[in-house]
Each structure stands twice: as structure tokens, then as C-alpha cells.
Amino acid sequence: MFFIGKQKMENRVCAAPMAGVSDKAYRVLARDFGCGLVCSEMVSDKGLVYGQGRTSKIADSSGEKRPVAVQIFGSEAESMATAARIVEEMGADIIDINMGCPTPKIVKNGEGAALMLDITKSRGIVREVLRVVKVPVTVKMRKGWDENSINCLELAQKLEEEGVAAICLHPRSRQQFFSGSADWNLIKEMKKELKIPVIGNGDIWSADDAQRMIDFTGCDAVMIGRAALGNPFIFRETFELLENNRRIPPPSREERLQTATRHLNLVCQFKSEAVAVREMRKHFAWYIKGLPGATRVRQEINRAASRDELLFALDSLL
């Protein structure tokens, strides 16, 4: 257990925000499998400010088990503050500011990881957001723009001075994207330097990896991203190891397929069937990866045009 501001965290397992993945259905599953903190997909500040319906849906966490963080991205302090106020009014328990997204369409607008190039600007955004909201504000960042500008420690210290409640560090540079390895030494250094919680992210592919990160860095919690694609079971395995010192077996084939079906049903609750089918194709491919017959079934999944056709394809693996 730890606190982000005044917000109590049940455990040290967090789900990373992932565009096109971390929707309400995914978050519900993650919580059910033991995640202590879930986060929305990144939400555009301008989309919120200008009232774009799809953007508001991404930020909607109504009916979910608390706490839920909503991550916003942008490059202008005033717009980010307005967006933060909107998501607070929508019920966000924590507001996370994205300073780590490496994708070209984000950084070309000075957003995401590009904010690490201008510490003064980043401080100004955080200061303005903190001025208008009461919920805790956190920041997710990378180690820097490239190997010649590793400034995550300096930026984190400045943002702690401004009043952020926690920092999540993915210690790769923007230039690396997801290549190479995450430098856990930087998480360790950041934990030594800051008084606020530090959440470690990067290269956690198993519960044992999560335990190693905590043992090596002393971080307050771990955040799991890509390893959870088609594998929400990693949250349960990590929870049991970190909180109960217990290793549990991996899911059976039946549980993997049952969970994929439940995931589809959850998406259908929150979105139209057509949208659910389109979005779940990639999830189903992740769920069945490595199972005998997966290659054949993946082709059927990609051709499926309805919920029933998706389930029929999945059932052939039982």
C-alpha cells in the first residue's frame, strides 16, 4: 500500500496507459486481475476543451472501481489546465500528464516526450494544472529526448517542487522508442532523489521482473504495459508475488480463451458491436499467441465481421 497525494493505492501493481488498448473494458479486466491503479488511454487536451464526443468517451471512468487515473496530453498550459478541470469533473481520481509518448504525430506538436526538451514549459503546464484541480497530479516521462539529453532527474525534481504527487519513469529515451533496454539505474537514482512516490516502468515482462525492479530500484510501484497485451493474468501473478510472496501458475488454455471472450463481452457493453469486433481482432490475436492452431484461427479472426463469428473462431481452439 502507498499513497499518491491523498489517494490510497491498494497495492503496487499499475496498468500503463496505452493508446488503442486502455479503454474501459481493458481497465475493468485489469482491476479484476489485481491491478491497484488503472489509467485511461491518453486524452487530447484540445479534444476535451472543444467537446469532441469521442475524446470525452475515452476519459469516461463512470462505474469503474476506484481509483482511476486519466492521462491528458498537450503542449499549452491554459488548454491543459482546462482539460484537467474537465476530467476532474468527470470523476478522475488522478490526473496524469503525458511527457513520454514518442510517436511522431504527438511530438511534432510539442506534446508527449517533446515536453522534456523544455523544462520551463513543462513546469508551467504542471503549475497551471495544479492551480485548477484538487485531485493528485502525476507525470509519466521518459529518461530524455535522446542519449545526449538525459534530463529525467532534473525534470522530476522541478516537478516535485511544483507539487506533483508522483512520477512514473520509463527509462528509455524518445529516440529509443521501445528498442534497446530500459535503464533501471535511473529509476533507482530518481527514487533516491525524490520524496514523492516513483513508479517504475519498462522491461517488466513477468512477475519476477516486477520483483527484480522493486528490489533493485526501491521504487514504490511498478507499471506494466506491453506485457499485458492479451495477458491480464500478469497483473494477478505480479500482485500475488509482490503482495503475498506467492508464485501462481500461468493461466490454462481454457482460462485464456474464457478471458478473451469476457473481454469481448465487456467491449460490447461499452461500444457498438461493429466497433467492438474491429477493436477486438488485435486483442484476440494477443490472447491466442503461442497456442496450437493460432495461425489458422488468426486468419479467421481477421475475417470475422460479427461478435458471433469472432467467438466461433475462438471456440475452434478449445
Strands 7-9 and 2-4, by their bridges, are antiparallel
Cα–Cα distances (Å) from 54 to 120, 266, 271, in that order, read 31, 18, 11
- 85 annotated to bind ligand: no
- 140 annotated to bind ligand: yes
Strands 221-224 and 38-39, by their bridges, are unpaired
- 225 annotated to bind ligand: yes
39 is catalytic: no
Cα–Cα distances (Å) from 87 to 45, 68, 106, 257, in that order, read 10, 11, 20, 34
Q: Give the CA-trace dihedral at 77, 122, 190, 27, to 10 degrees.
A: 40
Catalytic residue among 35, 39, 101, 168: 101
- 71 annotated to bind ligand: yes
Nearest to 154 by CA among 136, 174, 133, 169: 169
- 190 annotated to bind ligand: no
- 6 annotated to bind ligand: no
Q: CB–CB of 287/256 below 8 Å?
A: yes
Q: Which residue has the cell 508527449?
A: 112
Q: Give the CA-trace dihedral at 20, 295, 232, 69, to 10 degrees.
A: 0
- 12 annotated to bind ligand: no
Measure the CA–CA gap between 261 and 144, rounded to whole angstroms. 40
Q: CB–CB of 284/311 below 8 Å?
A: no
- 170 annotated to bind ligand: yes
Binding site members: 17-19, 71, 140, 170, 225-226
Binding site members for FMN: 17-19, 71, 140, 170, 225-226
Catalytic residue numbers read 101
